C-alpha cells in the first residue's frame, strides 16, 4: 500500500481524540500523569517471517499493553511506526491491528510510516493513565515473589510455530499474548514491585532483585505450567528450566509482603532476602543455575 492508503485505513481504526484525525504530524494528549512505554518487534527476532501479519499486529500491541499492565494503568492509546510492505501484508496487519485495538479498547494516537527493505521492524508506543505505577525496584527483604498465569507456554509455542505443528493453544500463546491489564489494575496499588515477564522468569526475577538491591530465590518446582505445556513439554527439571528461561510470557511478576494473598489468581514462585544474586531451588534444595536465564539482546558482544 502507499502511505496515503495506509493512513486512510488507519483513520478507520478507533482514533484517540488527540490524534486530530491523523492529519497532523503531532498529537495532543491531555491526561496526566501518563505512563509511557515503547517496544520494537523485529522479524526473525521477536516474530517469525511466516507468522500471520494479523498476529504480529496483535503481538506488537499486546506486548506494549503488557508494560502498561505492569504499571496498573488504564490504556490511553498507542503510536505506531510502520514499514509499508506489500499490500496483502499491510491489509492483513491492519485487520489484526483493528482487532487488538478494539479488544483492549486502545485508541490510535498517531505514528509514522516508512519504506524499509530488509527484515521488518515495527515500533509501538503505548500510553496509560491513572496508574499506581509500581516500579521494579521496590521489593523488600522478606517479600514473596508471585507470578500470574502460567509460564513457558509461549516458549513451547515458538517451537510449535517453527515446526508448523503442535497444540494451537500453545502456538497462540506465542503469537497472541494476552496482557494482564485487569490483574495489573488490581495489583498496582498493593504490590511493592511489579514488572511483566517478557524475557524469561529467571532473568526478570533477577532484574527485579538487582534493581531492589536484594537476593531472590526462585523455587523451580513451583513455576506454574499449563495443562497444555505439561502434556506437550513434560514437567521434569529440564522442561521447567526451559519454561523459566523462555520469555514471551507477558505475565505479571510482583513482590508482596509474606503472608499477604494477592487480589488476583497468582502463584508464589519465590522470595526476596538481603544480599544479591539469584538462587534456584527444586524441592527445597539449591540447584545449579542454567547458563542462560532468558532472552537478552546480543549478550555475546
Site for a second copy in 177-196 (CB under 8 A): 195-196
Q: Give the number of residues written for the chain.
A: 301
153 is in an annotated binding site: no
Q: Which residues of 29-44 are buried (b: 16+ CB within 10 A; e: fewer)?
A: beeeeebbbebebebe
Strand, coil or helix: what is 158? Answer: helix
Among 78, 72, 98, smallest CA distance to 37 is for 78
Q: Of 133, 169, 219, 273, which lies in the binding site for a second copy, with binding defined by CB under 8 A?
A: 133
CB 153 within 8 A of CB 232: no
Q: Give me 300's grid cell.
A: 555475546
Tell me how far the alpha carbon of residue 128 is from its chain's centroid: 15
Q: Which residues of 255-267 are buried (b: 16+ CB within 10 A; e: fewer)?
A: bbeeeeebebebb
Site string for a second copy, 72-101 (x = CB under 8 A): -------x-x-xx--x--------------
Closest distance between a second copy and the C-beta of residue 177, in Å?
Answer: 15
* Contact window for a second copy (CB under 8 A) among 128-136, 156-164, 241-249, 283-291: 128-136
Closest distance between a second copy and the C-beta of residue 73, in Å?
Answer: 8
Among 159, 187, 161, 171, smallest CA distance to 251 is for 187
Q: Of 55, 94, 97, 113, which lies in the binding site for a second copy, with binding defined by CB under 8 A?
A: 113
Instruction: Tell me: cis bond preceding 258? Omega within 30 of 0 counts.
Output: no
Spatial distance between the Cα atoms of 28 and 107, rounded to a whole number of angstroms: 13
Q: Which is nearer to a second copy, 45 or 168 (CB)?
A: 45
Q: Which is nearer to a second copy, 27 or 229 (CB)?
A: 27
Site string for a second copy, 23-62 (x = CB under 8 A): xxxxxxxxxxxxxxxxxxxx-xxx----------------
Using rule CB under 8 A, residue 9 touches a second copy: no
Phi, psi of 54 (to 5 degrees): -65, -35
Q: Which is nearer to a second copy, 170 or 203 (CB)?
A: 203
Using rule CB under 8 A, residue 1 touches a second copy: yes
198 is in an annotated binding site: yes
Closest distance between a second copy and the C-beta of residue 148, in Å?
Answer: 16
Q: Which is nearer to a second copy, 85 or 282 (CB)?
A: 85
- CB atoms near residue 238 (< 10 Å): 11
Q: Of 15, 94, 101, 136, which lies in the binding site for a second copy, with binding defined by CB under 8 A?
A: 136
Spatial distance between the Cα atoms of 193 and 209, rounded to a whole number of angstroms: 10
Using rule CB under 8 A, residue 163 touches a second copy: no
Site for a second copy in 252-291 (CB under 8 A): none
Which is it for strands 267-273 and 215-219: parallel, antiparallel or unpaired?
A: antiparallel
CA distances from 228 to 30, 158, 171 (A): 44, 14, 11
Binding-site annotation, residues for substrate: 46, 248, 295
Binding-site annotation, residues for ATP: 111-112, 136, 198
Binding interface with a second copy (CB under 8 A): 1-4, 20, 23-42, 44-46, 67-68, 70-71, 79, 81, 83-84, 87, 109-119, 121, 123, 125, 128, 131, 133, 135-137, 195-196, 198, 211, 296-301
Binding-site annotation, residues for Mg(2+): 25, 37-39, 67, 112, 196, 199
Amino acid at each position: 500500500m502507499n502511505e496515503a492508503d495506509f493512513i486512510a485505513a488507519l483513520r478507520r481504526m478507533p482514533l484517540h481524540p488527540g490524534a486530530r484525525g491523523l492529519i497532523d504530524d503531532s498529537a495532543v494528549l491531555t491526561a496526566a500523569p501518563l505512563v509511557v512505554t515503547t517496544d520494537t518487534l523485529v522479524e526473525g527476532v521477536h516474530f517469525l517471517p511466516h507468522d500471520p501479519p494479523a498476529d504480529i499486529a496483535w503481538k506488537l500491541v499486546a506486548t506494549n499493553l503488557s508494560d502498561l499492565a505492569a504499571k496498573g494503568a488504564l490504556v490511553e492509546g498507542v503510536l505506531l511506526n510502520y514499514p509499508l510492505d506489500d499490500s496483502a501484508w499491510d491489509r492483513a496487519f491492519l485487520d489484526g491491528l483493528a482487532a487488538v485495538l478494539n479488544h483492549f479498547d486502545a485508541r490510535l494516537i498517531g505514528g509514522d510510516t516508512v519504506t524499509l527493505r530488509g527484515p521488518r521492524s515495527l515500533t509501538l508506543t503505548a500510553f496509560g493513565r491513572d496508574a499506581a505505577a509500581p516500579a521494579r525496584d521496590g521489593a523488600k527483604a522478606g517479600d514473596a515473589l508471585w507470578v500470574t498465569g502460567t509460564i513457558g507456554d509461549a516458549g513451547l509455542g515458538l517451537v510449535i510455530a517453527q515446526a508448523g505443528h503442535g497444540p494451537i493453544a500453545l502456538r497462540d500463546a506465542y503469537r497472541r499474548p494476552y496482557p494482564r491489564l485487569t490483574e495489573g489494575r488490581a495489583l498496582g496499588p498493593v504490590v511493592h514491585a511489579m514488572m511483566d515477564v517478557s524475557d524469561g522468569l529467571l532473568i526478570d526475577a533477577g532484574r527485579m532483585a538487582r534493581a531492589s538491591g536484594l537476593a531472590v530465590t526462585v523455587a523451580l518446582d513451583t513455576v506454574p505450567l499449563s495443562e497444555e505445556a505439561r502434556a506437550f513439554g513434560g514437567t521434569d527439571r529440564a522442561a521447567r528450566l526451559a519454561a523459566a528461561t523462555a520469555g514471551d510470557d507477558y505475565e505479571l511478576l510482583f513482590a508482596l509482603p509474606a503472608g499477604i494473598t494477592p487480589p488476583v489468581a497468582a502463584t508464589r514462585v519465590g522470595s526476596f532476602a538481603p544480599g544479591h544474586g539469584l538462587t534456584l531451588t527444586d524441592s527445597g534444595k539449591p540447584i545449579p543455575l542454567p547458563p542462560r536465564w532468558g532472552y537478552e539482546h546480543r549478550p555475546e558482544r
